[in-house]
Structure 1
Amino acid sequence: MRKVLGLICFIIGLCVVFAACSSSETYADKLKNERKNISRFINEHNIVVLNQYPASGVFKENEYFRDPLTGVYINVIDSGNGNRASSSKRSEVNVRFWDAMTLPTADSDTISNNVAGLQPISLTYGIVATYSSSNTNSLDYYYLSTGITAPLQYVGENARVRLIVPFATGSTYQLAAFKAMYYTQLQYTRIVN
């Protein structure tokens, strides 16, 4: 299964490279456009970007911490309980999504194939950065990424967060479309260390 998944990822990667080479817009241009789209989204929604994660772990509704390693913007709605995923060993994590949309936001950009948190994705988080799932539908393509794991170093099981995930740390869909994704709510429903 891993070999097949690896082959599929390789083929998708080649398609992304060929698509990027065939357009007149460079990768640097795509990054610049993404930064503009994220900045516009932040301004339109009166978001305050924090340079440091709050010591109390408490966020106002419009406050987002930008993780310096991943570039992911994190807003913690509820930090969950003390059961946290471990970065020093493998942790199995279940994630549910309520809604997500590509930036800039428009009704036509909304991805609506996930019904109100009813479809979890399971992923492995830890020493080796493997993100796998037992799902056989398109959720992995749209949502599974290193970006959605960025909050795990700060929050525990049952935590709920909002995220802005740049395409560089995003899902296969994001990498292919060169689009950032805004998650209106994501919940880490189960963490097993």
Structure 2
Amino acid sequence: MKKITFLLVMLASVLAFSSCSHSETYADQLERENNAIHAFIVKKGINVISEEQFTKQGNTTDTTKNQYVLFSNTGVYMQIVEKGTGETIKKGETATVLCRFTERNLLRDTLQLSNQFLIFGAKVDKMSVTNTSGTYTASFDPSSSVMYDAYKSTSVPAGWLVPMPYVGIGRLTSAASKLSHVRLIIPSQQGHINATRAVYPSFFDLTFQRGL
């Protein structure tokens, strides 16, 4: 499984780097990234709303209108599909969070990585998340993380933590319980180590559940 994961990620990295000429500047790469994000927004018919409107709507996005809120300080776009059962991680608390995800490379518009399908489905990504006075930090558990297997880093992408103040991190305790579910467009500087190095944006579909 690890060999297949490694090959998939290496292929994506090679494709990303091969699209850059030797004379391309970092500004050129950022422009290409922004163009890829804009193209994805247009292709998917995404309705971008401001943080002000998001707040007025009770920190929710209307999925019937395909709304995504843009956080101007990070460049991350977020759609809350389901707020989920349970409470947010409290200030001063450290919680184990279990994640299911699918990642698309927006520069290539291709599926890049997932722990929801086939051979990867047996492993749920586990991360430890700490809320320090409203600032969230997190790390993957190397023994239970497809993200770690692929990218060889315990650092959780900063973009993954953007939803934390707005969604419940609970457990499925009854038929009425629901996992928090978000979709994120994450620019390279808020992404994982490969995205940052190759300067490509990612789209993540994520669910969160409180672990033991």
Normalized against structure 2, the TM-score is what?
0.69
Q: Which residue among 122, 125, 147 is the counterpart of 1:139?
A: 147
Shift of 1:191: 6.5
Which residue of structure 1 lines up, in the alignment, with residue 200 of structure 2?
A: 179
Report the 3-state secondary structure (helix = DSSP H, G, I; strand = E; otherwise coil) of the residue aligned with 1:154.
Answer: coil
Which residue of structure 1 lines up, in the alignment, with residue 210 of structure 2?
A: 190
* Alignment partners' CA distance in 2, 1:82 and 1:56: 16
Which residue of structure 1 lines up, in the alignment, with residue 58 of structure 2?
A: 55
Alignment of 1:93-172 (within 5 A): 93-106=96-109, 109-116=110-117, 118-127=123-132, 130-136=137-143, 139-140=147-148, 141=151, 144-157=156-169, 158-172=179-193
Shift of 1:93: 3.9
Give deviations 1:149-179, integer Å, cap 9, x for gaps.
Answer: 1011111113100111111111112112211
CA 58–36 in structure 1, closer or farther in 2 if over 3 Å, else same: closer
Report the 3-state secondary structure (helix = DSSP H, G, I; strand = E; otherwise coil) of the residue aligned with 2:73.
Answer: coil
Shift of 1:144: 2.6
Query: Across the two proteins, how many residue pairs are aligned to each other?
Result: 168
Report the 3-state secondary structure (helix = DSSP H, G, I; strand = E; otherwise coil) of the residue aligned with 1:156.
Answer: coil
The answer to whether the Cα contact below 8 Å between 1:95 and 1:189 also exists between their aligned partners in 2 is yes
Structure 1: 5+ residue stretches without partners: 1-18
Give deviations 1:58-95, integer Å, cap 9, x for gaps.
Answer: 42252101122221111111001341013x32432414
Which residue of structure 1 lines up, in the alignment, with residue 31 of structure 2?
A: 32
Q: Which runs of 4+ in 1 moved over 4 A?
A: none
Normalized against structure 1, the TM-score is what?
0.75
Structure 2: 5+ residue stretches without partners: 1-16, 170-178
CA 85–48 in structure 1, closer or farther in 2 if over 3 Å, else same: same
Which residue of structure 1 lines up, in the alignment, with residue 4 of structure 2?
A: none
CA 25–121 in structure 1, closer or farther in 2 if over 3 Å, else same: farther
* Alignment partners' CA distance in 1, 2:59 and 2:163: 15
The answer to whether the Cα contact below 8 Å between 1:122 and 1:134 also exists between their aligned partners in 2 is yes
RMSD: 2.7
Which residue of structure 2 lines up, in the alignment, with residue 81 of structure 1?
A: 85
Shift of 1:97: 2.7
